[in-house]
Homo-oligomer: A and B are copies of this chain.
Amino acid sequence: MSGKGKSVLALSGGVGGAKLALGLADTLPPGQLHVLANTGDDFRHLGLHISPDIDTLLYTLSGTSNEVQGWGLADETWHVMEALERLGGDVWFRLGDRDLATHLWRTGRLDRGESLLQVTQALARQLGIASRIHPMCEESVQTTVHCAGGRLPFQHYFVKEQCAPAVTGFSFEGIAQARPNDNILALLRETTLAMIVVCPSNPFVSIDPILQIPDMWAALRDHPAPLVLVSPIVAGAALKGPAAKMMAELGVPATACGVAQHYCDRYPGLLDYFVIDESDATLAEDIAMLGVEVAIAPTVMKNRQDKQRLARFILDLVAGQG
């Protein structure tokens, strides 16, 4: 990674992506990391605007996330949910007391006319986060999971149904009317952007919604900065979430190779580097045949050091090339 003032744009969904985002934030000079966050999971629930992936990024980057549970905040309490349960209310989406403060803060400001971008960046500042988190767009996009039994809004599939139904496809309601946030387009016009990283997030429900916003993936492809994607599938399994299960149900090999194929088919010319885990080294040749540079690294991030090491590997990968 050469030169000061060079910034990195990372595309991310929730937990898996946020881990690498934290590694990048730790490794880059403060303020040099931009995160482009999926908002296809956003939904209005109990009156509140909930942005699950943005919140996971906020909590992870501020060091307040609950790493044991894998979602939400550390040191959380559940008084509101307990009271709501006593009222017979909807408690399938568990909102902790501290987490609720985030949703109230956000919703109050959105209702007063602030943009999701303004609200997100103000929240990030409030939490002491130097990196910039950019919602992918301002428009409402709803990731919808197509299942044999019908279509489910993402959170219903993911939380209420615990990803049990077999998926047949996905759609992103409202995406045709969405456009990339202006500040993302401005960032993509800057020459100080040194690299674009696609974090190890679910291809179908975390990264596709971002890339399928009209003009988004073409703008990313056309930027001279190299694009590095880290496979979310390691040794045939997703480290977190339903990616591998979805691939199997869609008839795609649930391997890093299947992931690479997905991106190369849908977004030709987008990927420059594809990072796979050491345990998948035997797949390197097949993936390289798709026309991308394959890099092999330990990609499983169990602790903060793992995250920083993977971030450093990615930054060095491109620096070595440059």
Contact = CB atoms under 8 A, between A and B. Distances in A.
A300 to B, nearest CB: 32
Interface string A49-91: 1000000000000000000000000000101110110111110
Contacts of A90: 108
Interface string A110-149: 1100000000000100110000000000000000000000
A46 B119 CA distance: 13
A320 interface: no
Interface residues of A, number: 32
A89 B101 contact: yes
Contact of A101 (B83, B103, B104, B105): B83
Nearest to A90: B108
A47 interface: yes
A4 interface: no
A93 to B, nearest CB: 11
Contact of A46 (B79, B97, B104): B104
A126 B87 CA distance: 6
Given A48-B47, A49-B47, A83-B101, A89 B108 contact: yes
Given A47-B110, A81-B101, A87-B102, 8 more contacts: A47-B49, A47-B103, A48-B107, A79-B98, A80-B97, A80-B100, A80-B104, A87-B105
